[in-house]
Amino acid sequence: MIYTSYEMMRDCRADRPEGWRFLVVQYVPVMRKIVRHYGANQAGPEAALLSIARPDSPLFASLDPAPERVFVAGLRQSILEGIPAPAAELPVSLEAVAAAFEPLTLVEKQAAWLESMGYGAEQSGAMLRMAPATVAAIRARAAELLRGQTDRWRPSLLAENGRALGTEAAPPADGCLAARKFLDIVDGRTTWAGREELARHTDACWHCIDHFCRLLEAVSLLRGIEPLTEAEAEPFYKALNLPASRPAAWKRWFASS
């Protein structure tokens, strides 16, 4: 049987060591990337791990089988809650951003929004399967649009407000789409009609644009990730007060029979 992130969520919810071990080995490398990207240099992945490794964490609450990318997008949200974001010097509301970017297409909005998540043209281009120069050109246009919508503007305005905008966009509304619909697009499983339907809602819904971007970010976070070796995992097991060695196979068999 293959142990997946779904089984891990179930085991973490039940506070079983197997779940926490899998979380450490598979996802501490992802946590490390998240923490590094969002600038929490003072706190390493250990602090991120400790902040989320509770059986009652909303991260493990879903009873539906969730693909790994959905789990990682949620992991990012949970970790960010623990990383303080300084208030932007020049605040800009989601409403102003939505009004400014109204003329942009869905993919152009994504290219602009990924800037608020701290991704440069190169990384965003890889996520959107688009040339970095195209991303840069879209961003230049988006910047002009935003400039026209705000009294005080500077080139870094969107990036500086990224965390606050992300928080504002986080709660879903009625009719918002499930992660699966976005993953169908990412994986090329969607039909033309499905894509049209998605575009109609998402084009004007900043929760869904943010959600879509967070799933693309999850794909990128998982790329090239190597699980920790037992030796590398050891300090993290210790931080979680887990017994050092894995239970023998017969014990697991005994426990489940």
Out of 88, 176, 222, 240, the only residue in the binding site for Zn ion (CB under 5 A) is 176
Applying CB under 5 A, does 208 fall inside the site for Zn ion? Answer: yes
Kindly tell me which of 176 and 185 has the beta carbon lying closer to Zn ion: 176
Minimum CB distance to Zn ion, residue 177 (Å): 6
The span of 49-57, 143-151, 201-209, 223-231 binding Zn ion (CB under 5 A) equals: 201-209
Task: Pick from 10, 16, 147, 207 the residue near Zn ion by CB under 5 A.
Answer: 207
Tell me which stretch binds Zn ion (CB under 5 A): 160-168, 191-199, 207-215, 233-241: 207-215
Q: Which of 48, 165, 183, 205 binds Zn ion (CB under 5 A)?
A: 205
Is-contact 49 240, C-beta < 8 A? yes
- Binding window for Zn ion (CB under 5 A); candidates: 25-33, 137-145, 168-176, 184-192: 168-176
Q: Which is nearer to Zn ion, 143 or 208 (CB)?
A: 208
Least distance between Zn ion and beta carbon 141 (Å) = 24
- Nearest-approach distance from CB 174 to Zn ion, in angstroms: 9
Residue 213 binds to Zn ion (criterion: CB under 5 A): no
Q: Give whichever of 96 and 170 is closer to Zn ion, judged by the CB atom.
A: 170
Residues in contact with Zn ion by the rule CB under 5 A: 176, 205, 207-208
